[in-house]
Amino acid sequence: MSAGSSVPGQADAGGRALPGPLHIAGSDALSGEPVSLWTNQGRISRGPVPGAQTVCTDGWIVPGLVDAHNHVGIAPGLGVTIEQAREFARADAKAGALLIREVGSPLDTHPLDSDAHGPKFIRSGRAHRAHQTLSPGIRGRAREPRRSARRGAQAGARGGRLGEAGRGLDRSCGR
């Protein structure tokens, strides 16, 4: 049976056919420890499932969803505080995103790392320029290309990367 094959008679609540038993092995993305998981009839198990086909033997296993593009420290019309960012991050975790790739915010979100009720973070940089509709009044926003280039060079000298916030962030509709 191939990984895409389904087992006759097994379906989820929406009537979609479920794949046969699968075995997935890899490393815990947070600790690096080896992990093996099995699936059967839409359920995940830590114990072996008879007849499971191994479909992955390397890679990261993450206990939840990954939000690969998130600006936790930005919201329309707000100069976001760390407590507001904490609320946003907890809402993301409650929705299932337990690992967030923070792609840049004018706010330093590192204080969220110690929140036991929030997601884990991987950061790609700190925003140096936010669109006026997203974050009016943010100090340090670069208004000219020369200033943007200078801030980029400064971030590079510190060993960091710089991100830019774009348009369209609306937390009221769940992203």
Q: What are the DSSP calls for 100-158, one per residue?
A: EEE---SS--GGGGG-TTS-EEEE--EEEE--TTT-TT-TT---SHHHHHHHHHHHHHT
| Straight-line distance from the first to the last Cα atom of the chain, in angstroms, rounded to the nearest whole number | 37
DSSP tag of 169: -
Structure confidence at residue 160 (pLDDT): 47
Nearest-angstrom CA–CA distance, 6 and 22: 11
Torsion angles phi and psi, residue 171, rounded to 5: -70, -15
User: So where are the chain's domains?
Assistant: 6-61, 65-165
pLDDT digits (tens, 9 = 90+) for 72-116: 888 877 678 999 999 999 999 998 898 999 988 888 899 999 998
What are the pLDDT digits (tens) for 32-82? 899 999 998 878 898 999 999 999 998 888 778 889 999 888 887 767 899
Q: Name every residue whose Cβ is closer than 8 Å to that of residue 9 and which is 6 or more positions away in sequence.
A: none
pLDDT of residue 91: 93
Q: Which CATH number fits domain 65-165: 3.30.110, 3.30.1360, 3.30.230, 1.10.3470?
A: 3.30.110
Q: What is the pLDDT of residue 165?
A: 41
Q: Phi-psi category of 74—alpha, beta or left, where left has phi over 0 and alpha has psi -120 to 50?
A: beta
Average pLDDT, the chain: 74
Residue type, 147: R
pLDDT of residue 128: 54
According to DSSP, the β-strands at 43-45 and 65-70 are unpaired
For tokens 């699936």, name the residue. Answer: 39
